Amino acid sequence: MILTIRVKLTETVKRINTTDYGSDYEFQKDLSDTMKRLNDGHYAWNSCYASAFSAAHYLPIVSLMNGDDTSVFLAPNLPLYAAQNGLLDSYAGAGYNLTELAGAEVTAIQGQSPWNYLDDVAGPNGGVYQDPEQRLNFQFASYSIVNGGFGLLAGQFTQTSCFDKDNITLTVKSANGQEIDVTSPWIGSYEGREAWNFTSGEEL
C-alpha cells in the first residue's frame, strides 16, 4: 500500500523555526496540525491548550443511502445527543426543533458540499488513521458499548480543539423540502483536572 505523504518534515521544521508567531497558542497549534497531517497515531503533539480545553457542537451527522446515492444527514436520533449534554432547551431557545430536524438531509456545511467539507476536515484533523476512508468514517456519529449497553458517539465532526471559529452552519433540507440554515455555536469546555480562577483573557 502506498500512503500519501502530506508533510515534508524537514521543510516544515525549518518554516516553524523561522516563523514569528503572534502567540504561544499559534505556535502550539502549528506543531499539532503538522503532526495530525501525518495521519499516523504514532505521531502527536498534544499542546497544553488542546489538553486543557475542548469545544463541541451537538449536530452529529451520519452517512446513509439516499436512493442509489450516499448522502449526509443529521443523525435520526439527534435530540438524544443534545439531551445527554443538557442542551435541548438551548437549541429550542435558538429556534431549532431538533425532533423536526432529526434525519434531515445535509446539503451544505459552511457553504461547501458536505463531502468536500468532510474531506477537508478528515484529512488534516483525523490525525490517527492512515486510511482516508477510516478518517472520513471517524467524522460520523455511531454507537459504543458502555457497561453492557449502547452509548452514543457523536463523531469527530462535532469536536475540535481549535478555537478560531465561533459557530458552524449546516444547510439542511426539512421534511417539506425547504432548505434552511442551522447554526450552532462551538461550546467550550475545560478539561483540566485542577481549577483556577481568572478574570480576563489575558490571565487565562
> pLDDT of 121-152, one tens digit each?
766 666 667 777 888 888 999 888 877 777 78
pLDDT recorded at residue 36: 78
pLDDT recorded at residue 74: 95
17 occurs within a structural domain = no
82 occurs within a structural domain = yes
29 occurs within a structural domain = no
**CB 135: neighbour CB atoms within 10 A?**
22
DSSP 117: H
Q: What is the pTM of this model?
A: 0.79
Tell whether the model's pLDDT for residue 198 goes beyond 70.
no
Inter-residue contact 187 to 55 (CB < 8 Å) = yes
The residue count of the chain comes to 204
Q: Kindly state the greatest CA–CA separation across the chain.
A: 55
Q: What is the mean pLDDT of the chain?
A: 82
14 occurs within a structural domain = no
Q: Which domain holds residue 86?
A: 55-190
Inter-residue contact 55 to 163 (CB < 8 Å) = yes
> pLDDT of 59-80, one tens digit each?
999 999 877 889 999 999 888 8
- Average pLDDT in the 31-58 region? 77
- Average pLDDT in the 199-204 region? 63
15 occurs within a structural domain = no
Residues paired with residue 61 on neighbouring β-strands, in sequence order: 74
Inter-residue contact 158 to 56 (CB < 8 Å) = yes
114 occurs within a structural domain = yes
Three-class SS state of 112: strand
pLDDT recorded at residue 2: 39
Inter-residue contact 91 to 78 (CB < 8 Å) = no
pLDDT recorded at residue 1: 35
Inter-residue contact 151 to 80 (CB < 8 Å) = no
Three-class SS state of 160: strand
> pLDDT of 104-125, one tens digit each?
999 999 999 999 998 877 666 6
pLDDT range class, residue 193, cuts 50, 70, 90: low
28 occurs within a structural domain = no
Instruction: Report how far residue 191's alpha carbon sits from residue 162's, in angstroms, rounded to the nearest whole number.
Output: 14
Residue predicted with more confidence, 88 or 14:
14
**CB 86: neighbour CB atoms within 10 A?**
8
Residue written as cell 456545511?
109
Q: How many helices (H) and strands (E) in the chain? A: 8, 10
- CATH code, domain carrying 70: 2.30.42.10
25 occurs within a structural domain = no
% residues pLDDT > 90 (the chain): 26
Q: Count the helix, strand and coil residues of the chain and give each as a percent rounded to the nearest 5.
A: 30, 25, 40
> How many domains is the chain built from?
1
